[in-house]
Amino acid sequence: MHDTVRSWIGEARHIAVLTGAGMSAESGVPTFRDAQTGLWSRFNPQDLATEAAFRAHPRRVWDWYVHRREMIAAVQPNAGHQALAHFAKRHPGRLTLITQNVDGLHQRAGHSDALALHGNIVEDRWLDEPRSCCGAGGVEAGHPPRCPVCGNLRRPAVVWFGENLPAAALEAAEHAVRQCGLMLVIGTSGEVYPAAGLAFTAHQSGARVVVINPEATALDVVADLCLHEPAAECLPRLLD
């Protein structure tokens, strides 16, 4: 099956790749719920990752994200991240990487143009629409940091529950999967929408779809082939 996928990679003028939490887990990134250790074990993560929670308890939510950032900083991109980045560098314009992961591992591997559908946990943005004062005179340190003039808070640049995906990234992802000849779906359960719907769009547009995941997924139904292997083992063989 690897030879078949390698031939499909060679034939495809454009390749779309969707990655999910399983790929980061191979690097040792804790899942959303696994980050609930120590002090945080008494909190439900879904009660922390919302705008309402941040407005009600900004220090608590900010410190939880500091905790998650520290856990992510301790891990490194794996061989799967590296294989995708190296392929993209060798074949400019042929591969569009779309990720549901917020850990920035694809970017650290060298894939600076990854479409991060759920944002990036190592970056911040303003909670409210920034005024002219926001950032002009610097940012006041704190938990969380804030504008020293109007008090606007900085928040993690991730998509919280109840928020829309960034429109530009989603539009670019949808365009990529409609135009691709091959889509690789890697390390995702296929249960989180609208990201999971991208595989259906690729399939309906006539692209071949390959699912790479150790376990069965909800997207296997649209797959031309399923490779039940870890991405860190599989991708270097497919993309070298």
DSSP string, 120-171: EEEEEEESS---TTTBTTB-B-SSS-B-TTT-PBEEEEEPPTTPPPPHHHHH
CA–CA separation, 150 vs 135, rounded Å?
Answer: 11
Amino acid at 198: L
Tens digit of each residue's pLDDT, the chain (240 residues): 888 999 999 999 999 999 999 999 999 987 655 554 554 455 677 778 999 999 999 999 999 999 889 989 999 999 999 999 999 999 999 999 999 999 999 999 999 999 999 999 999 999 999 999 998 778 999 999 999 999 999 999 999 999 999 999 999 999 999 999 999 999 999 888 999 999 999 999 999 999 999 999 999 999 999 999 999 999 999 998
Residue 59 burial (C-beta neighbours within 10 Å; 0-12, 13-18, 19+): exposed
CA geometry: angle 9, 235, 32, nearest 5 deg: 125
Straight-line distance from the first to the last Cα atom of the chain, in angstroms, rounded to the nearest whole number = 16
Residue 109 CB: number of other CB atoms within 10 A? Answer: 23
Query: Peptide bond before 144: cis, by omega within 30 degrees of 0?
Result: yes
* pTM summary value: 0.91
**Is position 67 annotated as part of the catalytic site?**
no
- Bridge partner list, 153: 146
Q: Residue 203, SS3?
A: helix
Residue 221 CB: number of other CB atoms within 10 A? Answer: 12
What are the Cα distances from residue 90, in Å, to 82, 85, 201? 12, 9, 27
- Bridge partner list, 125: 155
Alpha helices in 185-230 (DSSP H): 197-204
Closest CA to 19 of 86, 93, 107, 91: 107
Torsion of CA 87, 91, 96, 97, to 10 degrees: 20
Q: What is the pLDDT of residue 240?
A: 87
State the catalytic residue, choosing from 81, 106, 111, 118: 118
